[in-house]
Structure 1
Amino acid sequence: GQVSIAPQEAAQAGGQWRVVSQWQAPGEMQDAGNIYLVEFRDIPGWEAPAPVMLKKGETGGRVEGVYIPAPFSEQTILTFAGASTLAGRLAPELAQLYLRQSGADEVKVVPGAGADEFSVQGIFFAAKEIRKIEIQGRGTQFGFMALKDGQCDVALAAHRLSPVDARSMGGNAITGESEHRLGMDAVSVVVHRDNPVKALTLDQVGKIFAGEITNWDQVGGPSAKINVFALKDTFATRGFFESVFLGSRPISPDAREVDVQSQLPEFIARDLWGIGFCSITLAGPCREMPLKAGADSEPVLPGTDSIRSLAYPASRSMYLYVRGDSSNVHAREFIRLCLSDAGQKIVGKFGFVTLGELAGTAAAETHVSGAQQAASNLPSIFRPGAPSVLKAPAISGPLPRLVQLDGEVVPDGTRKAVLQEYLDGVYGAERLPIVFRFQSSSLEPDAQAMQDAGRVTAMMKEPANAAKAVILVGFSDSVGDYASNLAVAVKRAEVVADMLRSRGLRNITVLAAGEEEAVEPNESRIGRERNRRVEIWLK
């Protein structure tokens, strides 16, 4: 027999048929049965023919399924714009999950005109409706501008919205409910899998991309010209990379610019002497280069532990932003989905560090910093399981120079008093991979802090942590004088302490180290943002 589909337009739109037979009792497999049902697939824009029932002797004939045009209404329920790191793969997957959970019978992803542009479409046959989620991955700043102009519902961001940009949106556009951390990423330095160089220092990476080191033999490799690949300067990933590795230096004009982030690792995978940078989620075909703070430091690869503890220097958080004055219910529901277990499972699937991993207690980090190494024998007592005693060894010898942004050098005597109190307080303690962050000149923690406070509270109420004390340490950037920054750091730690106390925690100690222990240079905006923090330790 033969089954045909008419009209031809319906067949081209995806019209199909299948045979369903009757149920059989246990026994030998015979022909499919005595009764057959020919079913026709639902496709958008057409009403499917009714099923056709055939008896066994009727299967030699011809069956024609005639579809009737039934126009489906279409509506765009959400628009995303921003970072290609999120738009290229993660956002379409999350959009599909949202539409399925909304009841879509089928979901498909239609590529757009650009490399990271998609239309994710949910088909609702009973309602004869197609609901669309449009995605444009043209960079974080593009996403912020689209959010400002009302051209998108959700901005996908590879860095936080600056206070200046937030104010420029006016009114109640950005509120405490606007920012949502999705997870963490890192920017990997990538090379060919067969590149023999085992590790690079941060200084060497900066000099390579600035064009000051041009041959692999200058960093311990064979004599071969270094081929530098870089994303175009419209990418937030490039701006972040420059802030970490190059400071004020520009990327070499000899670098080959790439305008699609997912293509950069593909170029490196085909070039034995190439080097570039990209999100860890895209580094698959390449080898990620271990990085060292200095020639004598241990190399660090990007991974869950090194990213959440910021031990890997190019770690960053990824964010979703919605306008505080938005009336789009789908935007709020989508955010809730992204932060749920189901959404976070997809975040982790693509290689990002999930919120659950960021809040995990199993990887509480021991912490040995430059100032701590100045104290005699200090590294040995910061090992896990070290005895909790009252005081750290006294700091001896000169400290590395601390120069303010205005050029003032802070005296060692002043700094040692601050550092000694800090070291005594965290002596024998463990640092958790949770950091509370603040805006410049502000005592208001960011939106993520409220969620983190809840996670810390839940963790501390576990029986294993019942006897442990919470130690909060405030840090600052170097904008302003040393004493004022120390005072602000204390106040920020007190703000976090109040958040935890309001949730029922009582055994809390507040310390401050101010400008000490900077995790990034203060010369860049991103560096200052990362230095304004409150760390949490358990003892």
Structure 2
Amino acid sequence: MFQSGKSTPYHWLSLLALISVSPATFAHDLEIHGSNTIGATLAPMLVTGYLEQKTAGAVQLQQTDAANEHLLTTTDRDNPVQILVAAHGSSTGFRALASGQAQIWASSRPARTTEIEQLRPTADLTTLESEHVIAIDGLAILVHPDNPVNAMSLETLGRVFSGQINNWAQLGGPNRPITLYARDDRSGTWDTFKSLVLGKTYTLDNSAARYESNDQLSDDVASDPGGIGFSGLASVRNSKLLAISDGNAPALKPDQLTVASEDYPLSRRLFMYTLGQRAPVQARELIDFTLSSSGQALVAQSGFVSQAPVAVKPQFDSSVPESFRKLTSQYQRLTVNFRFTEGRTKLDNKARRDLLRVRDYLSQEQRRPDDLLLIGFADTQAHELRAQMISELRALSVRKALGAVGVAQVAYTGYGHYMPVGGRGSQRNGRVEVWIKSR
């Protein structure tokens, strides 16, 4: 019995939180909460593939009474299995993971510092055991199919969505008002757009229509001659894609190479977060399946970009120096870039897994380590010699890391601060590209 005056408000709130979370915690075998970008199509496909592989049985997919929620069911040794995918935005997924309601947080943005600190007593979301990059997405900038505008800079895009540019005639298009379409505040897609496009300089204009669904936003842009919006790459549908430039770098459209390598200015990683070793076995199994070749094949099938390396012959534009054309003339480029943590001295979690993907690619394609060439790049430096040194050291660090996983003595070089893929100061400029000899 609770006695009047004996319980503080904190105790009551804790009790209410426990009561509200407990039923959901035990309602399903596994719950995935978060990003609509991931949860609308990709997560159900991954769960279906995982369950089919695990149980060899048929998997039923049904929508629950709540919008943007799906329940996947099957049987395993005559025992029913239920996995819920709730796609209400990346921030909702963090709250569900923190409360114990979800075992997997699907996020279309990296975990924030405040979120990492909040969960640190339970798990470190920055570790390889907790942070899982499941796919690469390109934030697609969408317009009506008949819109004659083909490219836009990040700065211009910010001015458009802040309302400073409000007619297509200002951009070389028809004399027609610009209509804005944006994802809602709970969306990781919105968080990415706000960070990469609006930043601290611009604020989204109040006239923008807001959406929980990528697909619905894209469909509405495609039917509005004055419309412009943004969505995940898998939701382009009938809209037209714009090429986007950052600083002095050339404008790029999102495609398999530009997105997988994260050269496209609005590339982003899609994540699943778990509580490391505290995650239940089924959650860890689903993550392992997602990162496997079978899971990454489903990523590609869903419309996102798989992390499995593919050899591509890039189409160079006029900005590419003749020396670089000669350097790579006998090579194709793999759709993977090695990038570094914020301090730029250590390979990040995705890069650590990419080491194994490159190793596996060589084995599957029956290629040798000496078929590879690593080319390092640096951000703009005051002195060319310093940039050259940094770019070579980056390539050397990847060479050593590949050696540690059994890919020894790979050729490497640096290309200094030339051929940037972003504006000055962009972390994307500091990268190591992977090239392989053409057959």
Q: TM-score when scaled to structure 1?
A: 0.65
Deviation at 1:169, TM superposition (A): 1.7
* Corresponding residue to 2:62 among 101, 110, 114: 110
Give the conservation status (yes or no) of the 8 Å contact 1:177–1:447: no
- 2:40 and 2:75 map into 1 onto residues whose CA distance is 22
Give the conservation status (yes or no) of the 8 Å contact 2:36–2:212: no
Cα distance change, pair 487–154 in 1 and its aligned pair in 2 (3 A):
farther
User: Does residue 394 of structure 2 align to residue 452 of structure 1?
Assistant: no
* Corresponding residue to 1:303 among 255, 279, 282: 255
User: In structure 2, what is the equivalent of residue 351 of structure 1?
Assistant: 303
User: In structure 1, what is the equivalent of residue 220 of structure 2?
Assistant: 267
User: Does residue 324 of structure 2 align to residue 382 of structure 1?
Assistant: yes
User: Mind listing any 5+ residue stretches in structure 2 that lack a counterpart?
Assistant: 1-25
Deviation at 1:279, TM superposition (A): 0.8
User: In structure 2, what is the equivalent of residue 470 of structure 1?
Assistant: 373
Deviation at 1:517, TM superposition (A): 6.2
User: In structure 1, what is the equivalent of residue 109 of structure 2?
Assistant: 159
* Corresponding residue to 1:150 among 100, 122, 132: 100
Deviation at 1:281, TM superposition (A): 0.7
- 1:238 and 1:257 map into 2 onto residues whose CA distance is 10
Alignment of 1:75-154 (within 5 A): 76-103=28-55, 105-123=57-75, 127=78, 129-154=79-104
Q: Which amino acid aligns with 1:199?
A: A
- 2:41 and 2:113 map into 1 onto residues whose CA distance is 29
Structure 1 or 2, whichever has the larger Rg, is: 1
- 2:354 and 2:240 map into 1 onto residues whose CA distance is 33
User: In structure 2, what is the equivalent of residue 239 of structure 1?
Assistant: 191
Deviation at 1:172, TM superposition (A): 6.2
- 1:280 and 1:76 map into 2 onto residues whose CA distance is 30
User: Does residue 162 of structure 2 align to residue 213 of structure 1?
Assistant: no
User: In structure 2, what is the equivalent of residue 283 of structure 1?
Assistant: 236
Give the conservation status (yes or no) of the 8 Å contact 1:75–1:130: no
* Corresponding residue to 2:138 among 169, 186, 190: 186
Alignment of 1:520-535 (within 5 A): 520=422, 528=427, 530-531=428-429, 533-535=431-433
Partner of 2:165, secondary structure, is coil
User: Does residue 283 of structure 2 align to residue 331 of structure 1?
Assistant: yes
- 1:170 and 1:297 map into 2 onto residues whose CA distance is 38
- 1:334 and 1:360 map into 2 onto residues whose CA distance is 24
- 2:273 and 2:345 map into 1 onto residues whose CA distance is 21
Cα distance change, pair 230–463 in 1 and its aligned pair in 2 (3 A):
closer
Cα distance change, pair 485–194 in 1 and its aligned pair in 2 (3 A):
closer
User: In structure 2, what is the equivalent of residue 170 of structure 1?
Assistant: 120
Cα distance change, pair 232–522 in 1 and its aligned pair in 2 (3 A):
farther
Cα distance change, pair 114–436 in 1 and its aligned pair in 2 (3 A):
farther
- 1:198 and 1:99 map into 2 onto residues whose CA distance is 42
User: In structure 2, what is the equivalent of residue 400 of structure 1?
Assistant: none
Give the conservation status (yes or no) of the 8 Å contact 1:382–1:429: no
Give the conservation status (yes or no) of the 8 Å contact 2:34–2:93: yes
Cα distance change, pair 493–186 in 1 and its aligned pair in 2 (3 A):
same
- Determine what percentage of the aligned residue pairs are the same residue: 28
Deviation at 1:468, TM superposition (A): 4.2
Cα distance change, pair 516–194 in 1 and its aligned pair in 2 (3 A):
closer
User: In structure 2, what is the equivalent of residue 61 of structure 1?
Assistant: none
- 1:532 and 1:148 map into 2 onto residues whose CA distance is 34
Relative contact order, higher structure (CA 8 A, sep 6+): 2
Partner of 2:139, secondary structure, is strand
Give the conservation status (yes or no) of the 8 Å contact 2:264–2:421: no
Partner of 1:325, secondary structure, is helix
User: In structure 1, what is the equivalent of residue 409 of structure 2?
Assistant: 506
Deviation at 1:334, TM superposition (A): 0.8
Alignment of 1:25-64 (within 5 A): none
* Corresponding residue to 1:196 among 148, 153, 156: 148
- 2:215 and 2:366 map into 1 onto residues whose CA distance is 45
Higher helix share: 2
1:181-226 alpha-carbon deviations (Å, 9 max, x no partner): 2221111111122333343343332221111111111112211111
In angstroms, what is the RMSD of aligned CA positions? 3.6
Give the conservation status (yes or no) of the 8 Å contact 1:344–1:354: yes
- 1:477 and 1:85 map into 2 onto residues whose CA distance is 34
Give the conservation status (yes or no) of the 8 Å contact 1:347–1:354: yes
Q: Which amino acid aligns with 1:352?
A: F
Partner of 2:398, secondary structure, is helix
- 2:120 and 2:246 map into 1 onto residues whose CA distance is 41
Cα distance change, pair 292–78 in 1 and its aligned pair in 2 (3 A):
same
User: In structure 2, what is the equivalent of residue 228 of structure 1?
Assistant: 180
Deviation at 1:531, TM superposition (A): 5.0
Give the conservation status (yes or no) of the 8 Å contact 2:243–2:251: yes
Give the conservation status (yes or no) of the 8 Å contact 2:379–2:387: yes
Deviation at 1:293, TM superposition (A): 5.2
Q: TM-score when scaled to structure 2?
A: 0.79
Aligned residues: 406
- 1:312 and 1:155 map into 2 onto residues whose CA distance is 26
Q: Which amino acid aligns with 2:354?
A: D
Cα distance change, pair 463–269 in 1 and its aligned pair in 2 (3 A):
closer
1:319-370 alpha-carbon deviations (Å, 9 max, x no partner): 22222132511111111222233322321122111122xx112x1547789x
- 1:334 and 1:343 map into 2 onto residues whose CA distance is 9
Q: Which amino acid aligns with 2:324?
A: F
User: Mind listing any 5+ residue stretches in structure 1 that lack a counterpart?
Assistant: 1-73, 389-425
Cα distance change, pair 253–338 in 1 and its aligned pair in 2 (3 A):
same
User: In structure 2, what is the equivalent of residue 49 of structure 1?
Assistant: none
Deviation at 1:83, TM superposition (A): 1.1
Q: Which amino acid aligns with 1:279?
A: G
1:364-402 alpha-carbon deviations (Å, 9 max, x no partner): 547789xxx6xxxx623333xx2x5xxxxxxxxxxxxxx
Cα distance change, pair 441–164 in 1 and its aligned pair in 2 (3 A):
farther
- 1:273 and 1:434 map into 2 onto residues whose CA distance is 36
Q: Which amino acid aligns with 1:275?
A: I
User: In structure 1, what is the equivalent of residue 340 of structure 2?
Assistant: 438
Deviation at 1:450, TM superposition (A): 2.8
